[in-house]
Amino acid sequence: MLNNKNGIIFGVANKRSIAWATALALHEAGAKLAFTYQGDRLKENVEELTNEAMPGSLLLSCDVSKQDEVDEAFRHIGEKFGRLDFLIHSIAFAPREALGGEYLNTSREAFLTALEISAYSLPQLARAAAPLMTEGGSIVSMSYYGAEKVVAGYNVMGVAKAALEASTRYLAKDLGPRNIRINAISAGPIQTLSARGVSDFSTMLKHHAERAPLGRNVEPREVGQTAVFLCSSMSSGITGEVIYVDCGYNIMGI
Ligand code: NAP
Ligand code: 1JT
């Protein structure tokens, strides 16, 4: 489905990352992939994963809070790939103390950091990618239900995801004339590095599975397969959307 397509994936930290499940699905669909990692600490992880599953993948260092690293990563991509067809944004960060307790107490610093890394990075990366998407393209980011409804403790990340989803709509308008589509996947809760250390995450997983129409939690692979669909021409009429991959959790009332 994605033969002869080139893509770049932001946000692989380890094998549990949603970005890694997405990479495996995109690779299976025939895409050629590049990966970015944040700093040397994560380089080894990504190297180990890609060496085994897709040797020869292009690996680039990129912390989105550093514009020169973003510029350098896309310069490299332009050199090595020429054309870019899709970009996966699977990045989020907020200081730990901001997840939990009351949103009321969010510090200016935590707010700005969470919004910068988790939301501003979308227009930032879209702007850098667009010139390489010469035959149209697809951009996919990862959101969560806390963007639209209150999830106790998700706090400033919910506000950042609301900005990410709104950015998806505004960017869809700007990029549409170049046939670049941009959509967000709103994934159900998944036990990843980000989720680790979030108190009561297992309670949340249990609650989610019980309440969701499918009676279970979403598999990372299912998020990956939806990304394949959004990167392929099968979704050519879809842009600016938030697609729920949450076993139906979000549709429930009482
Ligand atoms: P993850 O494996 O921890 O992935 C988060 C990634 O963001 C990591 O690779 C992390 O790198 C990267 N990142 C953080 N700050 C960065 C920066 N300044 N520059 C570049 N990369 C940076 O966790 P995940 O659950 O797969 O999260 C991926 C996405 O899915 C996030 O947007 C998250 O909000 C979303 N999501 C997760 C869930 C869930 O329940 N897990 C549900 C819905 C949506 P470092 O490790 O170096 O910080
Ligand atoms: C970050 C973290 C982004 C955890 C995240 C995230 N996106 C989803 N999760 C999982 C999650 C889900 C719920 C929750 C808390 C975390 C950790 C810090 C970096 C950014 O509720 C309290 C529902």
Ligand 1 binding pocket (C-beta < 6 A) is: 11-13, 17-19, 38, 42, 63-65, 90-93, 117, 142-144, 187, 189-190, 192-195
pTM check: above 0.75: yes
* Sign of the alpha-carbon dihedral angle for 237, 241, 247, 251: negative
Residue 226: both structure tokens together = 């939806």
With 0-12 / 13-18 / 19 or more C-beta atoms within 10 angstroms meaning exposed / middle / buried, residue 36 is buried
Contact between 145 and 151 under an 8 Å Cβ cutoff? The reply is yes
Query: Within 10 Å of residue 6's Cβ, how many Cβ atoms?
Result: 21
pLDDT per residue as tens, the chain (254 positions): 999 999 999 999 999 999 999 999 999 999 999 999 998 778 889 999 999 999 989 999 999 999 999 999 999 999 999 999 999 999 999 999 999 999 999 999 999 999 999 999 999 999 999 999 999 999 999 999 999 999 999 999 999 999 999 999 999 999 999 999 999 999 999 999 999 878 889 999 999 999 999 999 999 999 999 999 999 999 999 999 999 999 999 999 99
Beta-carbon count within 10 A of 102 CB? 9
Please name which ligand lies nearest the alpha carbon of 164. 1
| Cβ(153) – ligand 2 distance below 6 Å | yes
- For residue 199, with 0-12 CB atoms within 10 Å meaning exposed, 13-18 middle and 19 or more buried, which class applies? exposed
State residue 162's pLDDT score: 99
Ligand 1: centre distance to CA 91 (Å): 4
State which of 102, 157, 191 you would mutate to test the pocket of ligand 2, scoring each by most atoms of that ligand within 8 A of its C-beta. Answer: 157
Distances (CA, A) of 140 to 22, 43, 101, 186: 11, 23, 30, 11
Active site residue 120: no
The bridge status of strand 180-187 relative to strand 137-143 is parallel
Residue 106's pLDDT is 98
What is the tens place of the pLDDT at every residue in 118-157?
999 999 999 999 999 999 999 999 999 999 999 999 999 9
Count CB neighbours of 149 within 10 A: 9
pLDDT at 6: 98
Q: Is 205 close to ligand 2, i.e. is its CB under 6 Å away?
A: no
152-186 CB burial, b ≥16 within 10 A, e <16: ebbbbbbbbbbbbbebbeebbeebeeeebbbbbbb
pLDDT of residue 42: 80
From residue 57, alpha-carbon distances to 7, 70, 87, 118, 133 in Å are 11, 18, 15, 25, 19
**Amino acid type, 92:** A
